[in-house]
Chain A
């Protein structure tokens, strides 16, 4: 079974600072996806960034980037120039490669509550 671990329950930074959220996972699969989701107070799940395990290049989406270390099973999220709207719960998630194995569930980490202070 896959497990996802986020060791930082809460983090707090000042606006415009850079913050890194940690995530480690455990799997015996070789083909999979990793995700970071944001859950604001509305509780709607929002995809922040996605990484396919076979791609060595780290994914980036504007101010969001990841550091994917496949051998170490580590997948951290860096938020640059943080904004007040980034305040939310952030979940790291794992999914087996659905194109190979059919519809797959997401396995979530415990979450990190990120607060951006003005």
Chain B
């Protein structure tokens, strides 16, 4: 079946540095990728939508300059957390929505980001 591979699974970085998270669709093409954020014991909240060949769209309240999204190809979407601060520590998950030949959304394994 369709697989979305997300890396890294866990990252610890220093305050002020940037971290890049990658999501790859391994056996299908994804023109759209959704990026969610999940705080401990809470639900998934949509941060932004990446679209291949066009600018990402951000949900209200999400800083586009802090969370840079690039959809470089039909199989790769990246989220870069710039100038990370401890409050950016969270669990980030990407998801490819249903499309041709796939009737369900597929999720990456998630990335646990800790900013120290």
Q: Are B107 and A44 in contact (CB under 8 A)?
A: yes
Q: Which of A43, A98, A111 contacts B97 (CB 8 A)?
A: A98
Q: Are A106 and B34 in contact (CB under 8 A)?
A: yes
A50 within 8 A of B: yes
Across the interface, which residues of B come within 8 angstroms of A91, CB to CB? 43-44
**Contacts of A80-114 to chain B: CB distance below 8 A:** 91, 95, 98, 103-111, 113
Q: Measured between alpha carbons, how far is A44 from B91 in the docked complex, in Å?
A: 11
A11 within 8 A of B: no
**Contacts of B30-44 to chain A: CB distance below 8 A:** 31-32, 34, 38, 41-44
Q: Are A110 and B98 in contact (CB under 8 A)?
A: no
A45 within 8 A of B: yes
Q: Are A106 and B105 in contact (CB under 8 A)?
A: yes
User: Given A43-B110, A44-B107, A44-B109, is A104 in contact with B42 using a C-beta cutoff of 8 Å?
Assistant: no
B68 within 8 A of A: no
Q: Are A103 and B43 in contact (CB under 8 A)?
A: no
Q: Are B91 and A103 in contact (CB under 8 A)?
A: no
**Contacts of B59-109 to chain A: CB distance below 8 A:** 91, 93, 95, 97-99, 103-105, 107, 109
Q: Which of A103, A105, A106 contacts B99 (CB 8 A)?
A: A103
Query: Looking across the interface, which residue of chain A has its beta carbon closest to that of B98?
Result: A98
Q: Are B43 and A110 in contact (CB under 8 A)?
A: yes
User: Given A98-B97, A103-B97, is A108 in contact with B34 using a C-beta cutoff of 8 Å?
Assistant: no
Q: Measured between alpha carbons, how far is A50 from B102 in the docked complex, in Å?
A: 13
B49 within 8 A of A: yes
A residues with a Cβ closer than 8 A to B are 35, 42-45, 47, 50, 91, 95, 98, 103-111, 113
Task: Return the 8 tightest CB-CB contacts between A and B, nearest first.
Answer: A103-B32, A45-B107, A103-B97, A108-B43, A108-B44, A98-B98, A43-B110, A110-B43
Pairs A–B under 8 Å by Cβ, sample size 20: A43-B91, A43-B93, A43-B109, A45-B44, A45-B93, A95-B105, A98-B98, A98-B99, A103-B31, A103-B32, A103-B98, A105-B49, A105-B97, A106-B44, A106-B46, A108-B43, A108-B45, A110-B42, A110-B43, A113-B41
